[in-house]
Structure 1
């Protein structure tokens, strides 16, 4: 893959890239509608492919929050055309890496030495390059390390990047601006945290220690002496990312074991720690032939406020779906139903969200669940498509739901997606209160 010698870091340079891409996307639309005059039956498939290629090319050059948004959207397969999902998924694993001289410059600036002055060996080529940073392999006294280096200008450009990404997101996601604004505010706060490697170091140590009792999970040890706010050093873990792992044709037993480990990992974080690894895309896990899971990135952690937790998770309880009064009040507490809604609007949105809860909460309503059932995921995608087409939602002048739900929902969508790709059949462990009648 061609290396990138520099990253535009000034607001003017980055804005220029966005403007140029906007012109390309506009041109793609003009070409599409010109062709449609000749062929009225023409689909948008070619348009989506051209736009996805142009947008991803720009975002991968800019890196940082711009590319991170593409990575996040690639996980939400139910809201993006396939062309965008296919292209943006690359951000999970393989963005164009920075050249070695830029890596050396970062080391000298923040650790005072070149990487070869700290380690016995240091790979000049990145092993992985994603949205916020890239990973190199190093050795010291016979021990292997993974060294993550943040791209220049990432933290400084987050706010302005998201402002420029917004028009693309509005068009691609087909959402109203109020919902996008709520989305972007929460994304901005989490990206600022992800760009803080000192915070990631602290959280990595805390959560990996708290989850060390799970026999099928393994974690890296982290090294503060070789880390700083732009560089993070940890043990090198062996294993395969999900796509490569599935090519080895693992047995159903191994698939189920990995799926169970992931489910139990998230169940414990959410319901016991109240802080969750909220970036469950396949690039953040390493899988072994024996069915063990290595967790390699704690940059995105969502801390769950107790008040939000109490309201959000009670809706998973199947008994609540039969208690209309409590359900309606819970929807109000979560911001799904607003004070200014008319009785007709309350009934409409209560019915919509009740259907969504029944669908997304279905795994919790059973002792075991087969995530290999593709028909279940088709139901989810069709439901999301119907919501996206609803005029009442698209023309709403206020976003519905809490900002806290964005990363919690994203976590579950990411987890469900991985379990679906594994075709895992698991025990859906959950807190006892989610299975008892409402008091």
Structure 2
């Protein structure tokens, strides 16, 4: 096994070992008189610090997983969230850079030995770094300012290795995201890795989005200028990262960002036949002309017919309280397995709170609301937990569901007030005529 892989595995393995050691220490504190709640909160906070510190040191699948978790930070109870909220935010856009020599070697392999002739200026210092590549600012030979995205050498091996290790430790992450099933998330990330590693496929996705949103008044997608299997060159766009608006934005900024993100999420399948499927704040910014700048198109859901009609129908039936029709629709579309005994009212009680944003003219997305939903469906003693375990999510809906949940998590981090009903009425098939 290569030395780097051994080192990465050792760092990931340190997470459960560290957690076990803290659990033993916590037992001692219980004996010393501290309450169970106090000890539990302290253990969770300290474990969280280690989990995200380790993920932050890694590239590949570990960081990709950390980014996927970061959008669900809003679901974590406030008393546990603070110790690692900053670490989660860093995972959205930061990773250790590759050396200049390694970066130049990768450019030569992908763009040819004369790659420097394509640029009139190239900044060797990364402008940003993410899970499987880093971005450099440069000037293309025709004078355009461009973003050059370069994949880390060995990223494919690191991704698969990390995800195998993380699947072994998946239970450890569950307390940080109540209501979210970690194993399916990891399986889905694994399934998407091959596509994301091919930057030519990502370039094709970005071209489709750029064409669909060309000259759009609300969304800016940078055009692709050149692409290779492990390098892409696109137009450079400036803006205020969503992470900064989440951290320190004024209320109008938050609401504006939330509205643009919601419009982009629901309109993309109808306009581009694709759904941007990597919803974390590092992939979005507000440009100087107040548009939503969108980057990183490695992960997409292909929806040539737009968003599935049953989703809109289910939302509308939930809002209207039509429980019998809702249950029948869910049976017909495979959300309830054949022969499964389940009460219509229990299904309505489970789904209706998720439909709340579409039930009113404007909805205030808050961390408390998301925490309430996570606690509700994650409470092993509650009826909603039992109902949720009885339902089935058909494979074709898995990615759509996770992306929608991720986008909702960002809206709650923004604390945004959004007219979601109007957006859904316009873009979600089945909602207006259910």
Q: TM-score range by the shorter chain?
A: 0.7 to 0.9
Distance 1:36 1:106, change over 3 A: farther
Maintained 8 Å contact 1:9/1:152:
no
Maintained 8 Å contact 1:320/1:327:
no
Distance 1:243 1:62, change over 3 A: closer
Structure 1 residue 13, shift from structure 2 partner: 4.4
Correspondences of 1:66-77 after superposition (within 5 Å):
66-77=62-73
Stretch moving more, 61-70 or 112-121: 112-121
Match of residue 423 from structure 1? 416
Match of residue 184 from structure 2? 182
Distance 1:255 1:385, change over 3 A: closer
Find the aligned partners of 2:120 and 2:338 in 1 and give their Cα distance.
63
Distance 1:294 1:168, change over 3 A: same
Find the aligned partners of 1:244 and 1:379 in 2 and give their Cα distance.
22
Correspondence 1:200 to 2:192: no
Structure 1 residue 407, shift from structure 2 partner: 2.9
Find the aligned partners of 1:204 and 1:76 in 2 and give their Cα distance.
25
Distance 1:379 1:112, change over 3 A: same
Match of residue 220 from structure 1? 222
Match of residue 4 from structure 1? none
> Alignment partner for residue 53 of structure 1, among 49, 56, 74?
49
Find the aligned partners of 1:274 and 1:352 in 2 and give their Cα distance.
34
> Alignment partner for residue 213 of structure 2, among 211, 214, 220?
211
Give structure 1 stretches of 5+ with no counterpart: 1-6
Correspondence 1:40 to 2:30: no
Structure 1 residue 370, shift from structure 2 partner: 3.7
Find the aligned partners of 2:417 and 2:388 in 1 and give their Cα distance.
38
Structure 1 residue 238, shift from structure 2 partner: 1.4
Correspondences of 1:31-430 after superposition (within 5 Å):
31-41=25-35, 42-77=38-73, 79-80=75-76, 81-82=80-81, 83-113=83-113, 116-141=116-141, 142-174=143-175, 179-224=181-226, 227-245=227-245, 252=252, 256-304=255-303, 309-318=308-317, 321-333=320-332, 335-339=334-338, 341=340, 343=341, 346-347=342-343, 351=345, 353-366=347-360, 368-371=361-364, 374=366, 377-390=367-380, 393=385, 400-420=392-412, 421=414, 423-426=416-419, 428-430=422-424
The DSSP-based 3-state class of the residue aligned with 1:262 is helix
Find the aligned partners of 1:389 and 1:51 in 2 and give their Cα distance.
22
1:265-310: per-residue Cα shift (whole Å, max 9, x none)? 2221134544211222221122135422211221221124869823
Find the aligned partners of 2:386 and 2:99 in 1 and give their Cα distance.
44
Structure 1 residue 136, shift from structure 2 partner: 0.9
Distance 1:287 1:20, change over 3 A: same
The DSSP-based 3-state class of the residue aligned with 1:429 is helix
Structure 1 residue 68, shift from structure 2 partner: 0.6
The DSSP-based 3-state class of the residue aligned with 1:44 is helix
Structure 1 residue 382, shift from structure 2 partner: 1.4
Give structure 2 stretches of 5+ with no counterpart: none
The DSSP-based 3-state class of the residue aligned with 2:228 is coil
Distance 1:431 1:30, change over 3 A: same
Distance 1:325 1:247, change over 3 A: closer
Maintained 8 Å contact 1:312/1:334:
no
Instruction: Give the number of aligned pairs.
Output: 418
Q: CA RMSD in A?
A: 3.4
> Alignment partner for residue 8 of structure 2, among 14, 31, 34?
14
Structure 1 residue 437, shift from structure 2 partner: 5.0
Structure 1 residue 199, shift from structure 2 partner: 0.6
Structure 1 residue 384, shift from structure 2 partner: 1.4
The DSSP-based 3-state class of the residue aligned with 2:136 is strand
The DSSP-based 3-state class of the residue aligned with 1:279 is coil
Maintained 8 Å contact 2:75/2:409:
no
